[in-house]
């Protein structure tokens, strides 16, 4: 039901590509200087499979969360969201 709408497919694809690039840059599999190159060593195959799996799951997760938030019957006001994000920090740093 979520992925029948093309918007959520685009969101999932955009998140997948973003995380795939970021994770591969951090794992030093993609280089952008002086030209964009992709280099996969034999011992990095397991990490590459984990990066692909994590990126796909992040794309699906973010698209489904956007769907749930957009179609939620519960209306969140600003004070509830503010206390949710910043409420616990007042107890940590008085």
CB of 29 closer than 8 Å to CB of 39: yes
Residue range 3-16, pLDDT digits in tens: 999 999 999 999 99
Residue range 15-52, pLDDT digits in tens: 999 999 999 999 988 888 888 888 888 899 999 999 99
Long-range contacts of 81-88 (CB under 8 A, 24+ apart): none
DSSP annotation of 35 reads S
CB of 7 closer than 8 Å to CB of 63: no
Omega of the bond leading into 34 within 30 degrees of 0 (cis): yes
The C-alpha angle with vertex 65 and arms to 88 and 63, in degrees rounded to 5, equals 140
């Amino acid at each position: 039901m979520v992925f029948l709408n093309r918007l959520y497919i685009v969101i999932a694809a955009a998140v997948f590509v973003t995380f795939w690039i970021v994770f591969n840059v951090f794992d030093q599999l993609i280089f952008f200087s002086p030209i964009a190159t992709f280099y996969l060593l034999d011992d990095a195959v397991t990490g590459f499979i984990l990066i692909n799996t994590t990126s796909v799951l992040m794309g699906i997760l973010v698209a489904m969360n956007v769907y749930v938030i957009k179609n939620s019957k519960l209306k969140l006001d600003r004070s509830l969201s503010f206390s949710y994000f910043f409420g616990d920090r007042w107890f940590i740093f008085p």
